[in-house]
Structures are given as C-alpha cells and as structure tokens.
Amino acid sequence: MSSRYSLWSLARQALRRHRDWAPAWRTPVPKPAYDIIIIGGGGHGLATAYFLAKKHGIRNVAVLERGWIGGGNSGRNTQVVRSNYFYKASVDFFEHSLKLYESLSRELNFNIMLSQRGIVTLAHSRHDLETNRRWANAILLNGVDSEILTAEGVKRIEPLINLNARFPVYGGFVQHRGGLARHDAVNWGFARAADALGVDILQNCPVSGFETRAGRIAGVATPHGVLRAGRFVINVAGHSSVLAEHAGLRLPLISMALQAMVTEPVKPMLRSIVLSPTAHVYASQSDRGEIVIGGAADVYSSYAQRGSLAVIEDFVAAAVELFPAFARLKLMRHWAGIVDISPDTSPIMGKTPVDNLYLNCGWGTGGFKAIPAGGDTMAFTVANDRPHPLIAPFALDRFERGALIDEGAAAGVAH
C-alpha cells in the first residue's frame, strides 16, 4: 500500500534519504476473473477504474495495459484543459471535467500541477471575429466563463505577439479558467489512487481478442491466458477500431497521427495558451520554460506527398509568424500519438450493441481535458448499465440517428 503524500511524509523520507517510499502501485498477479475489465491504461481507463471503486464500491476491477501506464496519448499530449466548447452537451460535459480538475490534486492526493493561466483563441479576420463572438456568447449562455478580446486585449495578455502577421490578429476570446495540467501526474495520480482502492493494474498485458458466449463477451485473450469478467470496457484511443472489430463492432473512426514539439527552455515569454484555428497552431510555455507547440492532426492530403516532417515545418512557420521571438529557439524534441477521430469530432461513450461491452473512444485531439469526467461518467454507466445523463448525447448510435454534435471548430481539428 502506498503511503499518503504530504509535507510531513516528504520531510520524513528526506531524513531517510528517500529510501523508504512505497511503490505508487502494485504489480499484481492477475486473477482468473474480475467483475469488470478495462482494456487500456490511459487516463480514461484509469479514471474509470478509480471512480468504479471510489463511487460505486466495485473494486474487483482490472485495467489491462499493453505497454506502460500513460504510454499512449494520455502521456503524449500538450496538457491543455478547457471547457470552451460550442454546443450545450459538450459544454456541460467538459465543464464537469474542468471542475473535477480544479479539485483533483486533493481528490487523488497527487499534485497534478494545474495552472489556470487562460486560453486565448485568436480571430484573424472580421469574419473570424464574428464567429468568435458567437462562440464566446454560446459559452457564456451555457454558464461558463468567456471574455471577448480586442486586438489590444490580446496584446495585453501576450505582449510578444505580432498582431500584423500573415494572418493579422483582429482580436479573439479567452477562457480564463482554461490552462494546463501535468499529464504524467494525472495518469499516475489516478493509477495510484485506483490501486490503493484494490484495482489491479496489469502492465505489459495486451489484449489480442475476445472470447464470446451467447452474444456476450466472456473473456479477453492476454499473455496471461483468458481473463474473464462480467463487463468489459474498450478504452484504447487510436487502437479502438482494431480492437472493437475483434468484438464484431465496426466503429465510425479514422485514426491518424497528431504531432507536438518543444523548444529549448527559456525565461518566461508566454503567459497563456495561444490558439490560432486559422494558422492551425497553438503554443504555451511549460513550467520548465520550454515552448510547447501543437496543431492539427496529420489530416491534409498534401502531407501524404510532403511527409510528416512537413507538419512540423507548418507548425513552426505559423508559430514564428505569431511570435517572431520564437525564431531563435532550437527545437529539442518532437513526438506523435495516434488519435481516433469520429465524423463529428465528438467522443463516443457508453453502451454498445454487445450486451456487456462498453466503449470510450473518439477523443481525437482533445481527450486529456476530459479524463476526470470521462472516468466519472463511464464508471456510472458501467456500474448501472445505463448512460450517465452527461454522456447520453455521445452514444454510438447517434450516427444512425443523425444526432451529431459537430464540434469541428471547437475541437481544433480541421475536417
């Protein structure tokens, strides 16, 4: 059992030269059967396991992760959390998540380093400005903070921005409660807290298929043999289509790379997170001082000819136009994750046509901010076998009913 983190325990361990810290989670021997098996040890899978144990008292749960905890997109993202979406269903869900983030460090006894420094969305034309006003007002009408900015207002927040770039800055809007949370801490915090409640986290445990019986899932094939459970959750992001097909489901998803990069660390030069949907770039400064740069997924057909390094070139060109001072920085690292994008760029969560199989996927470029609410609402759905009201609109069958929630613009994904 891991010990409680506090100033007192830190001081005590310092006196013992940090030799006595308990592992943050166990490496358990798999049981042959569980009440619930969650496939995928990303943030959503771990958070679902935590809330199943914490809120619903279901502790005989296993999270099966093919690699290591948070080795997927939950440990590769650019850490942006916000709830400034357009439609009510999205705002309600993402605002629930942001509120959970605001008290998550205390909830998990793990410092997730939440920094609500504000996210500024730029408008680059009068038309953009009109759209931004509509977007910001929709957010306000849904009860979430949002402030429309003039160009001078943007400059007050970000003095180094070039307002006369190729796409001149006309203004924008800001969600002051938007910000960043340390992604590893979110994964590790949920893993540690779930483990402390009795959840088995099995790393290096890929699921390669399903055993079905009478139209239900009976077990999953793993290197430890078939592990059985009463209910199963697929939570594997960019690998959802592949895995779901083994269970007889065809998902309306495309999977593609999403890239990001960081520069060498420098003194503070960016205050907020700045996002330009027109230039397809966003940037923030990490606590270490690196400039973190991201953009749209590798979606354009031109990348097929120009190769994925062209994506980096495009991100960097756009970032340097907005912030010429970046031009002298060296890029240190760059990486990608495989994201799963649905036709309306909103997530797919809830029950499936297979009786005891549940699904959490389709997060595309924006599921990190959704981890606490995704875990909370999926745990409710699996425990009660009915969708939590906040995720009912995100059911898989919305694509048959035509009840789409098109958040293409707010998701930051070009489509």
Ligand X SMILES: Cc1cc2nc3c(=O)[nH]c(=O)nc-3n(C[C@H](O)[C@H](O)[C@H](O)COP(=O)(O)OP(=O)(O)OC[C@H]3O[C@@H](n4cnc5c(N)ncnc54)[C@H](O)[C@@H]3O)c2cc1C
DSSP character at residue 180? E
Q: Does 41 bind ligand X (CB under 6 A)?
A: yes
* CA–CA gap between residue 186 and residue 76 (Å, rounded): 12
Residue 18 has which token pair? Answer: 């940090």
From residue 192, give the alpha-carbon distance in Å to each of 64, 298, 333.
15, 34, 28
Pick one of 169, 258, 319, 411: the residue that binds ligand X (CB under 6 A).
258
Residue nearer to ligand X on the CB measure, 74 or 90: 74
Give the DSSP H or E segment for 283: strand 281-285
Residue 383: which residues within 8 A CB-CB, separation 6 or more? 52, 55, 56, 58
Residue nearer to ligand X on the CB measure, 345 or 365: 365
Q: Does 54 bind ligand X (CB under 6 A)?
A: no
Pick one of 34, 40, 84, 188: the residue that binds ligand X (CB under 6 A).
40
Pick one of 118, 367, 375, 393: the residue that binds ligand X (CB under 6 A).
367
Give the DSSP H or E segment for 261: strand 254-263
Pick one of 36, 37, 38, 39: the residue that binds ligand X (CB under 6 A).
39
* CA–CA gap between residue 359 and residue 248 (Å, rounded): 13
For tokens 């923030």, the residue is 284
Q: Does 277 bind ligand X (CB under 6 A)?
A: no
Q: Does 362 bind ligand X (CB under 6 A)?
A: no
Pick one of 5, 36, 66, 349: the residue that binds ligand X (CB under 6 A).
66
Residue 116 has which token pair? Answer: 């609500």
Pick one of 5, 42, 58, 171: the residue that binds ligand X (CB under 6 A).
42
Q: Does 206 bind ligand X (CB under 6 A)?
A: yes
Q: In the 3-class helix/strand/coil scheme, how is 349-360 assigned residue by residue?
A: EEECCCCCEEEE
* CA–CA gap between residue 322 and residue 324 (Å, rounded): 6
Let me know: does 97 contact 372? Beta carbons within 8 Å.
Answer: yes
Q: Does 105 bind ligand X (CB under 6 A)?
A: no
- Judged by CB under 6 A, the chain residues 218 through 247 that form the site for ligand X are 235-237, 239, 243
Pick one of 96, 351, 369, 388: the residue that binds ligand X (CB under 6 A).
369
Q: Does 280 bind ligand X (CB under 6 A)?
A: no
Q: Does 74 bind ligand X (CB under 6 A)?
A: yes
For tokens 């310092």, the residue is 14
* DSSP class per residue in 11-78: HHHHHTTT--PPPSS--PPPPSEEEEEEE--SHHHHHHHHHHHHHH----EEEE-SS-TT-SGGGTS-
Pick one of 80, 104, 194, 396: the residue that binds ligand X (CB under 6 A).
80
Q: Does 337 bind ligand X (CB under 6 A)?
A: yes
Task: Give the other-Cβ count within 10 Å of 115's Cβ.
Answer: 16
Let me know: does 297 contact 341? Beta carbons within 8 Å.
Answer: yes
Q: Does 365 bind ligand X (CB under 6 A)?
A: yes
* CA–CA gap between residue 407 and residue 11 (Å, rounded): 47
Residue nearer to ligand X on the CB measure, 74 or 175: 74
Q: Does 263 bind ligand X (CB under 6 A)?
A: no
Let me know: does 192 contact 95? Beta carbons within 8 Å.
Answer: no
Q: Does 87 bind ligand X (CB under 6 A)?
A: no
Pick one of 78, 132, 263, 381: the residue that binds ligand X (CB under 6 A).
78
Pick one of 363, 377, 379, 388: the residue that binds ligand X (CB under 6 A).
363
Q: Does 188 bind ligand X (CB under 6 A)?
A: no
Q: Does 77 bind ligand X (CB under 6 A)?
A: yes
Q: What x-and-dash track marks residues 281-320 binding ligand X by CB under 6 A?
A: -------------x--------------------------
Q: Does 72 bind ligand X (CB under 6 A)?
A: yes
Q: Does 67 bind ligand X (CB under 6 A)?
A: yes
* CA–CA gap between residue 160 and residue 270 (Å, rounded): 8
Residue nearer to ligand X on the CB measure, 151 or 261: 261
Pick one of 247, 260, 349, 359: the residue that binds ligand X (CB under 6 A).
260
Residue nearer to ligand X on the CB measure, 140 or 257: 257
Indicate the SS3 state at residue 156: helix
Q: Residue 201 Cβ, how far from ligand X at the closest point, in Å?
A: 11
Q: Does 118 bind ligand X (CB under 6 A)?
A: no
Q: For binding to ligand X (CB under 6 A), which residues are involved? A: 39-45, 64-67, 71-74, 76-80, 206-207, 235-237, 239, 243, 258-260, 294, 337, 339, 363, 365-369
